[in-house]
């Protein structure tokens, strides 16, 4: 019997997968537990439509991410911070401050968790930062930290 798995079943299949299993296993175990449903033509068509819709959504998100990468790639942002006497900052420049500056300058929402710093920014200077826009798309920016007057 062909079934459509509604959730991952160890050793059998993953959610959304259509697989042939024995009739008894499907009727007595998978279907009563709500882990799978019988694969009828209408259900298969629904799954196909859902997968197509999901694929289109992912393509749209990837296109938007590529556009955002073109905007941000190679840009530099300047952040002013309070310093002690020797170009050392009081505290550090955080990913949240970088995200807020990007929001102000480029009018783009970036989650602070998607900003990767190679080292903590604790003094005045230029620092590289990576922004993970999409799993396969990232942008490199330069963060310039200057002292406030």
pTM, full prediction? 0.71
Q: What tens digit of pLDDT does each residue of 91-140 get? A: 899 999 999 999 999 998 999 999 999 999 999 999 999 999 999 999 99
Average confidence (pLDDT) over 73-78:
93
Q: Which domains does the chain have, with CATH numbers?
A: 2-59 (3.40.5.10), 68-147 (3.10.430.100)
Express as a percent the part of the chain with pLDDT over 90.
78
- Report d(CA 122, CA 94) in Å as an integer: 9
């Amino acid at each position: 019997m062909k079934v459509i798995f509604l959730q991952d079943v160890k050793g059998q299949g993953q959610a959304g997968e259509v697989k042939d299993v024995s009739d008894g296993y499907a009727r007595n175990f998978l279907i009563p537990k709500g882990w799978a449903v019988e694969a009828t033509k209408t259900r298969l068509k629904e799954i196909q439509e859902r997968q197509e819709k999901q694929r289109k959504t992912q393509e749209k998100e990837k296109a938007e991410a590529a556009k955002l990468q073109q905007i941000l790639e190679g840009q530099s942002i300047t952040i002013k911070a309070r310093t002690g006497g020797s170009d050392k900052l009081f505290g550090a420049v955080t990913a949240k401050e970088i995200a807020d500056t990007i929001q102000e300058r480029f009018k783009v929402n970036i989650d602070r968790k998607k900003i990767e710093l190679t080292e903590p920014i604790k003094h005045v200077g230029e620092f590289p930062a990576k922004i993970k826009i999409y799993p396969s798309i990232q942008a490199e920016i330069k963060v310039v930290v200057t002292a406030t007057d």
